[in-house]
Amino acid sequence: MLRRSGVAVVLVLSGVVLAGCATAPGSSAPAVEAYAEPGSGMVDRVTAATEHAATIGVDGVTLTEDGSGLRSVPDGVRDLARAADRGGARSELLVSNYSEALGDFSPEVGTALLGDAGNRERVARQLARAASRTGSDGVQVDLESLRARDRDGLVAFAAVLVDAVHDELGPDAEVSMAVMASISAAGFRDTGYDLRALARHVDRFVLMTYDEHGPWSDPGTIGALPWAERVVVAAEREGLPADRIDLGVAGYGYVWGGGDAGQVSPAYARTLAGDRARWSDRTGEWSAALANGRALHWSDARSYRARVALARELGLHGVALWSLGTQPLPD
């Protein structure tokens, strides 16, 4: 997930029974997950989101720098899980290898966890207990910027995490995983994912079909519709069933150039763009050429609805919006 950047059915795959999510019986609407980070006003945004979201992903739990444990659960996580529950949505607690010292996801922290069996077991148990203490219904693994060397360790971690979560939260509790987007088998494997093996343990996968471009690249789309579809096709070819895939949706944009370069909310992007804003049916996003050579691309409520339509067309389980901090969940 970007930093300062959905009801149970039983699925059987390769002889393994998994507790997965599905839309309501008879409904063709994709299930919705919305992510939230603790902060001012976020309880109200979560409460509003539960009108449409089946799941609220609560971000904030990170690994220690040596990968051997979890840092303290941030204040406010329990409040967000409770808000989800009051609104009739499930909540899941996210764990990540985001490093405050680095200001980004740390490959080294990920490897320190995944390369050591003791660390994997310890973190799995700590995470399951943290989910229980915060009133969460499940957990989501959000380990990013991993490397090829981490593939086997990630599968092993998923296996022990499922056992820990079921022991702590019950046999129907879900373990999901956020997956960095790639458009090829090699791309997934080089970033630490053996999707076919992971599918034996993980209930649902959120494809992070955003950050196609960003401050690290030339200006471009945040997650164009044709690119997102290519990511889904590649993931399916690597062993993920469509009905266990959520399509990631950006609720933000980026500005390139000038003193205000970086991430912007859709509302602020619209203010910056003014009458220069241009919508693309092909990409499902907005863009604007600003003064002084600056460029702006963003994804908003209209973009969200375009991706809900794509998820339905592709037969996916649902969509997942990152995040309520920058974009309220659209109707």
pLDDT tens digit sequence for 113-162: 999 999 999 999 999 999 999 999 999 999 999 999 999 999 999 999 99
When divided into structural domains, the chain yields a total of 1
Instruction: Give the three-class secondary structure for 135.
Output: coil
Residue 211 lies in a domain: yes
Residues 94-109: tens digit of each pLDDT: 999 999 999 999 999 9
Work out the average pLDDT over 239-257. 98
C-alpha to C-alpha distance for 205 and 234, rounded to whole angstroms: 13
> Is the distance from CB of 225 to CB of 265 less than 8 angstroms?
no
Residue 216 lies in a domain: yes
Q: Over 90: is that where the pLDDT of 8 sits?
A: no
C-alpha to C-alpha distance for 184 and 188, rounded to whole angstroms: 7
Residue 283 lies in a domain: no
Instruction: Give the three-class secondary structure for 187.
Output: helix
Residue 128 lies in a domain: yes
Which residues constitute the domain of residue 241? 7-253+300-322
Q: What are phi and psi of 52, to 5 degrees?
A: -125, -20
Burial level of 32, CB count in 10 A (0-12/13-18/19+)?
buried
Q: Give percent of the chain above pLDDT 70.
A: 92
pLDDT band at 2 (very low <50, low <70, confident <90, very high): low
Long-range contact set of residues 236-240: C-beta below 8 Å, sequence gap at least 24: 237/185, 238/185, 238/188, 238/193, 238/195, 238/196, 239/195, 239/196, 239/197, 239/199, 240/195, 240/199, 240/205
Work out the average pLDDT over 201-228. 98
Mean pLDDT in the chain? 93
The CATH number given to whatever domain includes residue 92 is: 3.20.20.80
C-alpha to C-alpha distance for 137 and 93, rounded to whole angstroms: 8
Residue 258 lies in a domain: no
Q: Give me the DSSP letters along 93-120.
A: EEEE-EETTTTEE-HHHHHHHHT-HHHH
pLDDT band at 28 (very low <50, low <70, confident <90, very high): confident
CA–CA distance from 79 to each of 100, 109, 233, 323 (Å)?
A: 23, 28, 37, 17
Residue 222 lies in a domain: yes
> Is the distance from CB of 56 to CB of 93 less than 8 angstroms?
no
Residue 295 lies in a domain: no
Residue 281 lies in a domain: no
- Regarding pTM above 0.95, the answer is no
> Which pLDDT score, from 0 to 100, does residue 12 have?
29
> Which pLDDT score, from 0 to 100, does residue 91 have?
98
